[in-house]
């Protein structure tokens, strides 16, 4: 099914019109005159991707390069142009491997110049004559390339290939590609002779392979008596944990995989035409930002059968869902889309990961475009949650402390899929493929992520609060994902968590709110100048898992803080009374053993209850912070009204508290 749909995609998007050429990064251009002499200031670096160069439409061979010894026409690396090993010191202790490596390098070098010579004989192009003359002049090492350490070597520096550029600088070479310019004409762009010539060569390669191929039934298209591809080419590039030259999604490269007398890919026969189509389709999807997401160690490719622009929308909303775009989408989810067409159009998605030379299909999804878009709307609706302060502005302030793995996704909106996934781990490199699959399915299929994800999220939250304090609350992604997981796994009798503080009888949620109020009370008692760990840093872990024991201590401590505030004059008494009323309102939701006795809190909370505790705590803190910010804004603009007067804030300001520290 997957390969058949990729085959159809290649034909519908006209991806097979010019297979003789493919995008290729070329970092260095060698400028020559008509006699093959290096002209100008020397080798020129192209403007493009750092250390890779500009991407050109370059000739590509249809031949398999697995066994080595095959070069590309007009553009290749150090080995192809100069017979230089990228790692000449490799395998020096293994004579056989070293001998095979040298033989393979020489074969590739000879193949590059054989192709150039054949092209010159058939076209008579004078620029190719210049290349051949340059080749004769550089039988030994070119003057602009050397092996060794840098001119100012560092201790224990290893030797590398170095190239002197046209500007006179030396640059360390890697897997760089080279091409040629003759009399200011870039040969890769020659549409008059060289590109038509290569199309003919490429077609000859295809015809030869087809003629030699066994014939049979194609499992991809169902067609019978068609040439069957012995290996599936071209290689698929861009999947994490695969080789730089690509990998295969269908591969039988060992005798152990042979069965019933069939070897190579005849075990799973696909026609040469269908194989070329699906491989090129997958390479296209992996190369387009509008058609794939690279998240951790997985690549997710997606497309709609008919609506070409649909993939751009999903790529933006999953990778860069800025708050304004999300708000517009939730308000008008079908803007700019024909819903009737979307009801019949199909949306496809495949999740891939790599294992050296093979590609693993982790998950395959097929649904209607309407259903996937509606599920995405519900995804963002379920992720909606109040913010603590202004997370975007706060993150712009550089800090040495790194609270969690979301630092690796700095600059991404809070609801980006990758950023949400990062809340489950300490470092992004620890992300599990299964976690990404679950979140992706939750976004586009409406599935409920496993409750098991709560455990790492809550563990990271507890650790970060103890280590970094309330700065941890700036991580909106963590609490948005908590809300989604809890609500989508909600059982009968459990509360539906709202985006903001709400009234409920749920003990876990209310305990979280109460801890936030106790924290606010302590901060006021210390005039927002508390030194050392506060009640959150000290007691969050125990309060969220064993509330009865933790809140027994906190209840006695809060009475001390109330008395301390009451001693600060009339405004202190009014502030203490206001916060006492808030505490009493929540305490009334718990059973009381008797008059003037503290409430009876639950003995323990399970994992889901700990999640609701976290959200109650976060939302209460966010509401408090929002009130502070609004009060200070009105006061700064002179918009305070009598009913806005807040004795708690006045008391804090009278103690010379910096407004920027309030709520922190």
pLDDT tens column, 520-547: 899 888 877 787 888 999 999 999 999 9
Kindly state the average pLDDT of the residues 299-317.
Answer: 94
Domain assignment present for 2: no
545 and 644, same domain (yes or no): yes
Domain assignment present for 390: yes
446 and 516, same domain (yes or no): no
- Given 455, 488, 521, which residue is the final one in a domain? 488
Question: The domain containing residue 54 runs over which residues?
Answer: 18-150+158-202
pLDDT of residue 652: 56
pLDDT of residue 653: 56
48 pLDDT more than 70: yes
**Cβ neighbours of residue 646 closer than 8 Å, sequence gap 6 or more:** 627, 631
Domain assignment present for 296: no
Banded model confidence at residue 648, pLDDT cuts 50, 70, 90? low
- Which sign, positive or negative, has the C-alpha torsion 414, 419, 425, 427? negative
Domain assignment present for 494: no
Domain assignment present for 67: yes
93 pLDDT more than 80: yes
Domain assignment present for 302: no
The residue ranking higher by pLDDT, 556 or 41, is: 556
Distances (CA, A) of 156 to 91, 146, 153, 159, 163: 20, 19, 8, 10, 21
Only one residue has tokens 């064993």, namely: 546
- Given 256, 287, 318, which residue is the final one in a domain? 287
Only one residue has tokens 């599990």, namely: 432
pLDDT of residue 446: 95
pLDDT of residue 396: 46
- Given 136, 169, 202, which residue is the final one in a domain? 202
pLDDT of residue 257: 66
Domain assignment present for 300: no
573 and 616, same domain (yes or no): yes
514 and 419, same domain (yes or no): no
404 and 537, same domain (yes or no): no
What is the distance of C-alpha 631 from the center of its chain?
A: 39
Domain count of the chain? 4
Long-range contacts formed by 214-220: CB under 8 A, 24+ apart: 214/266, 216/266, 216/269, 217/269, 218/269, 218/270, 218/271, 218/274, 219/268, 219/269, 219/270, 220/3, 220/4, 220/7, 220/270, 220/271, 220/274, 220/275, 220/278
The residue ranking higher by pLDDT, 143 or 398, is: 143
pTM of the predicted protein model? 0.80
198 and 221, same domain (yes or no): no
521 and 638, same domain (yes or no): yes
Share of the chain above pLDDT 90, in %: 64
241 pLDDT more than 50: yes
Kindly state the average pLDDT of the residues 254-266.
Answer: 70
Structure-block tokens of residue 464: 């970060």
471 and 573, same domain (yes or no): no
593 and 520, same domain (yes or no): yes
Structure-block tokens of residue 610: 């700990």
537 and 471, same domain (yes or no): no
Whether 390 and 265 have beta carbons less than 8 Å apart is answered as no
Domain assignment present for 355: no
Cα–Cα dist 476/456, whole Å: 16
545 and 448, same domain (yes or no): no
37 and 84, same domain (yes or no): yes
Q: 129: part of which helix (H) or strand (E)? A: helix 126-137
């Amino acid at each position: 099914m997957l390969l058949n749909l990729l085959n159809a995609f290649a034909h519908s998007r006209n991806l097979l019109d010019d297979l003789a050429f493919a995008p290729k990064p070329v970092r260095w251009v060698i400028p020559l005159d008509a006699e093959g002499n290096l002209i100008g200031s020397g080798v020129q670096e192209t403007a493009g991707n750092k250390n890779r160069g500009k991407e050109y439409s370059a000739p590509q061979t249809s031949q398999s390069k697995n066994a080595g010894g095959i070069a590309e026409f007009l553009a290749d690396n150090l080995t192809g142009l100069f017979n230089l090993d990228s790692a000449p010191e490799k395998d020096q202790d293994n004579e056989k491997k070293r001998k095979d490596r040298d033989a393979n390098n020489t074969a590739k070098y000879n193949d590059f110049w054989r192709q150039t010579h054949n092209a010159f004989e058939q076209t008579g192009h004078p620029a190719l004559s210049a290349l051949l003359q340059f080749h004769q002049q550089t039988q030994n090492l070119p003057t602009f390339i050397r092996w060794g350490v840098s001119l100012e070597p560092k201790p224990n520096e290893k030797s590398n290939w170095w190239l002197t550029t046209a500007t006179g600088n030396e640059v360390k070479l890697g897997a760089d590609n080279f091409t040629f310019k003759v009399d200011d004409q870039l040969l890769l762009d020659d549409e008059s002779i060289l590109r038509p010539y290569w199309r003919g060569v490429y077609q000859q390669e295809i015809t030869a392979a087809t003629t030699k191929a066994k014939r049979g039934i194609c499992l991809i298209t169902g067609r019978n008596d068609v040439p069957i591809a012995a290996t599936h080419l071209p290689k698929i590039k861009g999947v994490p944990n695969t080789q730089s030259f690509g990998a295969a999604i269908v591969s039988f490269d060992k005798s152990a995989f042979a069965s019933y007398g069939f070897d190579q890919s005849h075990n799973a026969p696909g026609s040469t035409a269908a194989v070329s189509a699906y491989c090129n389709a997958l390479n296209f999807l992996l190369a387009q930002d509008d058609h794939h997401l690279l998240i951790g160690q997985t690549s997710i490719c997606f497309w709609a059968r008919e609506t070409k622009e649909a993939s751009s929308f999903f790529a933006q909303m999953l990778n860069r869902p800025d708050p304004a775009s999300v708000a517009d989408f939730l308000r008008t989810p079908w803007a700019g889309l024909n819903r009737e067409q979307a009801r019949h159009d199909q949306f496809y998605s495949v999740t891939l990961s790599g294992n050296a030379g093979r590609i693993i299909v982790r998950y395959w999804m097929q649904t209607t475009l309407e259903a996937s878009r509606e599920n995405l709307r519900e995804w963002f609706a379920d992720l909606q949650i109040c913010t603590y302060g202004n997370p975007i502005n706060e993150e712009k302030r550089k800090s040495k402390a790194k609270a969690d793995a979301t630092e690796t996704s700095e600059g991404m909106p809070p609801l980006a899929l990758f950023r949400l996934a990062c809340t489950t781990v300490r470092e992004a490199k620890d992300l599990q493929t299964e976690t990404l699959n679950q979140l992706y399915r939750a976004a586009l299929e409406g599935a409920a992520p496993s409750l098991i994800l709560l455990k790492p999220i809550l563990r990271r939250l507890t650790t970060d609060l103890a280590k970094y304090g309330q700065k941890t609350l700036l991580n909106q992604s963590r609490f948005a994902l908590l809300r989604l997981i809890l609500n989508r796994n909600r059982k009968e009798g459990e509360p539906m968590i709202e985006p903001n503080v709400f009234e409920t009888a749920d003990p876990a949620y209310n305990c979280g709110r109460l801890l936030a109020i106790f924290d606010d009370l302590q901060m006021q008692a210390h005039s927002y100048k508390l030194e050392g760990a506060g009640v959150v840093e000290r007691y969050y872990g125990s309060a969220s898992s064993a509330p009865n024991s933790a809140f027994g201590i906190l209840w006695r401590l809060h009475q001390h803080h109330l008395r301390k505030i009451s001693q600060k004059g009339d405004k202190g008494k009014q502030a203490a009374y206001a916060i006492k009323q808030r505490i009493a309102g929540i305490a009334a939701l718990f059973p009381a053993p008797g008059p003037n006795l503290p409430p009876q809190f639950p003995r323990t909370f399970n994992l889901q209850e700990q999640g609701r505790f976290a959200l109650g705590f976060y939302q209460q803190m966010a509401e408090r912070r929002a009130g502070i910010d609004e009060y200070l804004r009105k006061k700064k603009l002179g918009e305070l009204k009598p009913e806005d007067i807040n004795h708690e804030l006045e008391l804090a300001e009278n103690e010379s508290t910096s407004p920027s520290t309030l709520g922190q």
